[in-house]
A and B are shown apart, each in its own frame.
Chain A
Amino acid sequence: NAGVTQTPKFQVLKTGQSMTLQCAQDMNHEYMSWYRQDPGMGLRLIHYSVGAGITDQGEVPNGYNVSRSTTEDFPLRLLSAAPSQTSVYFCASSSWGDTHNEQFFGPGTRLTVL
């Protein structure tokens, strides 16, 4: 199993550009989520999904869109990038429900917005 994969690993954008961060998992996990990590801030939840067609907002959803059309994929879209979105983005997945729901994390995408 590849686990959780994220592409790209690095990206530089100009203010106002749009892009999609890709996330895929091959563990048949219902739950997927996106976090951003900034120095001294820990991880902050952006959006999450508990299954195909179901998404919800986390702590810092503004400026980001998500959709979940399949169990495997959970892309994160930046419609108009801003310098404040410079961060490291992590995707994670887990089983859903009151069972072992440890999160499996991807390697991260380092995004710089100029």
Chain B
Amino acid sequence: SQQGEEDPQALSIQEGENATMNCSYKTSINNLQWYRQNSGRGLVHLILIRSNEREKHSGRLRVTLDTSKKSSSLLITASRAADTASYFCAKRPNAGGTSYGKLTFGQGTILTVHP
């Protein structure tokens, strides 16, 4: 089963509105990462939050992490048409050895921002 389940599966908003995407996971993590994918392209890293952090900001992005609820949220403020893309969360397990390498992705949220 996939770790890092996301909702909503699709989100459609108008330019200027905020977009919130959620990610849940099942087992202990070392860090959680958010990625963006434009149609037909590879993924691009947006932001990483560690298990001992609760909130991080990067430009118009705000990520929160609640380890007690095993969930994270990505907020994009003042969205633009150029933010239209798929957004994925990925979790890095809190494991030793090579198991630390099992970065697993959720199914993603398709965000459409209408001009």
Contact = CB atoms under 8 A, between A and B. Distances in A.
Contacts of B2: 41-42, 44, 59
Interface residues on B, range: 20 to 34
Interface stretch (B11-19, B43-51, B60-68, B71-79): B43-51
A48 B101 contact: yes
Interface string A72-104: 000000000000000000101000101011111
Interface-centre pick from A41, A105, A107 (highest chain B CB count, 10 A): A105
Interface residues on A, range: 20 to 34
Interface of A: 4, 31, 33, 35, 40-45, 48-50, 54, 56, 58-59, 90, 92, 96, 98, 100-108
A106 B42 contact: yes
B101 A33 contact: yes
Contacts of B107: 40-42
A88 B21 CA distance: 24
